[in-house]
Amino acid sequence: MGAFAALGLAGPCLAQATEIPHIVTRGGRHALIVDGRPFLMLAAQVNNSSNYASALPRVWPMLDRLHANTIEIPVAWQQIEPREGQFDFGFVQTLLDQARAHDKRVVILWFGTWKNTSPAYTPDWVKLDNRRFPRMKTRDGKDHDVLSPMFRSTLEADKRAFVRLMTYLKEHDPQNTVIMVQAENEVGSYRNPRDFGPASRAPFAGPVPAALIRKLGKRPGDWSSVFGAQADRAFNTWHTARYVDEIAAAGKAVKPLPIFVNAALAGPSNVPDPDGVASGGPQQDVLDIWKVAAPSIDAEAPDIYDRASGNVALYLDAYARPDNPLLVPEIGNARDFARYFYEALGHGAIGFAPFGMDDTGFSNYPLGARTLDDATLDAFARPYQAMAGVMRDWARLALERPGWGTARPDDGSDRQATLGDWTIKASFGEWQFGEKSWSWLKSEPAPWAEEPVGGVAVLPLSADEYLMIGDHVRVRFASAKPDPRAMVVRVEEGHFTAGTWMTDRVWNGDQTDYGITIVDRPVVLKVTMGRYR
Ligand code: DGJ
């Protein structure tokens, strides 16, 4: 078997190390291609103000501690263009040099017109010039803090700076240390669903663009008649997405790296209150607007700070779409969030990043961890460590077949799924030996039984073989249809060499008699099912 076949790659994927990273989509599944091969971003995002050379020494040890292969880090407009037309890429070069020295890939977060909706990261000459770069107007004609997406002057200035950044990467990063770029950060506006100033008057009264009408299957009309109570928000979403798309397209024309946008999420199961949500952002209920308005954006991505397991499941479902690769560019850095790594993998995620991961003394409680103690860091680090050696294979296989993953639900109940002929059941809070129900062997409940830890992700390798990774979980495989001849044939711990599974040891006896129970040491296993004749 040739090397390509073993890797599951078609010939044309044969790539130089310098092939520009991109996303491929096949059968509604996705992979991020880095150096010509699928890559799983085991990432961490630094704190907001860690985008300076002085902070980097407190960043890299944390990335290593986490076994992360990718750093997500801001590059701010105010930082690269402090005076109009005068650019300073000193930090970007330092970042490239140090990332290479520390063997990390980079996702640059472009903090431009919007950062958590605000213009805080624009240069002073932008912030202070409201005539040239106007803020939005509220319903009663007052200035709102957020810059309006309705002005070409603002768009052109942001675009110019972004294009310079992408030009710098084209010229100084031929090895593609930077693998992806986030355009803006949590765009939109709170408490003001659109710009109510004169610049919006005619467009708001005009027709909804035909392409959007077609996509949504609506009847043509103006914004109010098509969108009713959500009209202001739909209008702002369209114009914000068009604005970001133009910037992204101009950047990609220089260097076509994948570009995504992140969403400040709204409640998962209701239509958001247009005054409460970051109106304009790519929340799950307006993804179709973004898809039509922003074709240059490769992914809309959820920032997850909601700890409720049911809500996280809904977010992951909403963003994992055939037309949208799932990427979790931010998730809280508290211990409870770590288990969602497995659930994201089960949804085919191309990357995952806890937020606020550096040693600057900032941990973001109560949004994030109270402190970044060892228990917290291990919860993220150990799954990354176990996955690191097989991440290319995992990403390759996830492009080929759908998998499944789950995190311990808040109520600790069992979770199960059927993949092909076999059902996989995850239960939580089990000791390693025996059954909870046994009365002859007394034990106290496992200490982690009530803790928000535990999860598993599974990918089929063939009809009867599965790859799995998990922790604080017991996993049982069984025939989907009752079949007394069905059994687990082998459970192997191992790794891949050039795309081929290599067994390091076989798990048997106590390690498999009660299901496969993994506690605090996540491990990659291959499970083979079968039936005797
Ligand atoms: C989401 C933003 O995108 C991040 O930059 C950061 O501000 C977090 N919220 C909060 O810590």
Report, as an integer, the average pLDDT of 315-321. Answer: 98
Q: Judge if the beta carbon of residue 116 lies within 6 A of ligand 1.
A: yes
Tokens in use for 213?
């009408």
Shortest CA distance to 16 belongs to which of 187, 174, 243?
174
Domain 415-531: assigned CATH number? 2.60.220.20
pLDDT at 2 over 70: no
Shortest CA distance to 257 belongs to which of 343, 320, 167, 347?
167
Which atom, in ligand 1's list, is nearest to the CA of 48?
5
pLDDT at 386 over 50: yes
In three-state secondary structure terms, 492 is strand
> Which helix (H) or strand (E) element contains residue 100?
helix 90-101
Q: Judge if the beta carbon of residue 330 lies within 6 A of ligand 1.
A: yes
Model pLDDT for residues 331-362, shown as the tens digit of each residue: 999 999 999 999 999 999 999 999 999 999 99
**Distance between CA 130 and CA 119 in Å, rounded?**
11
**Distance between CA 246 and CA 390 in Å, rounded?**
37
**Distance between CA 81 and CA 69 in Å, rounded?**
29
Q: Judge if the beta carbon of residue 48 lies within 6 A of ligand 1.
A: yes
Test site for ligand 1: of 108, 115, 303, most ligand atoms within 8 A of the Cβ: 303
Model pLDDT for residues 185-231, shown as the tens digit of each residue: 999 999 999 999 999 999 999 999 999 999 999 999 999 999 999 99
Could you tell me the pLDDT band of residue 273, with boundaries at 50, 70 and 90? confident
pLDDT of residue 272: 81
Q: Judge if the beta carbon of residue 185 lies within 6 A of ligand 1.
A: yes
Cα–Cα distances (Å) from 473 to 52, 91, 319, 413, 469, in that order, read: 40, 43, 26, 11, 10
Residue-range domain boundaries for the chain: 3-302+320-331+351-365, 415-531
Q: Judge if the beta carbon of residue 358 lies within 6 A of ligand 1.
A: no
- Category of 162 on φ-ψ map: left (φ > 0), alpha (ψ -120 to 50) or beta: alpha
CA of 304 to the centre of ligand 1 (A): 10
Count of residues in the chain? 533
Q: Judge if the beta carbon of residue 367 lies within 6 A of ligand 1.
A: yes
% of residues, the chain, pLDDT over 70: 96
**Distance between CA 78 and CA 122 in Å, rounded?**
5
pLDDT at 17 over 80: no
Map 167-193 to HEC letters: HHHHHHCCCCCEEEEEEEECCCECCCC
Overall fold of domain 3-302+320-331+351-365? TIM Barrel (3.20.20)
Could you tell me the pLDDT band of residue 3, with boundaries at 50, 70 and 90? very low
Contact partners, residue 436, CB within 8 Å, separation at least 6: 429, 430
Calculate the average pLDDT of the chain: 95
Q: Judge if the beta carbon of residue 364 lies within 6 A of ligand 1.
A: yes
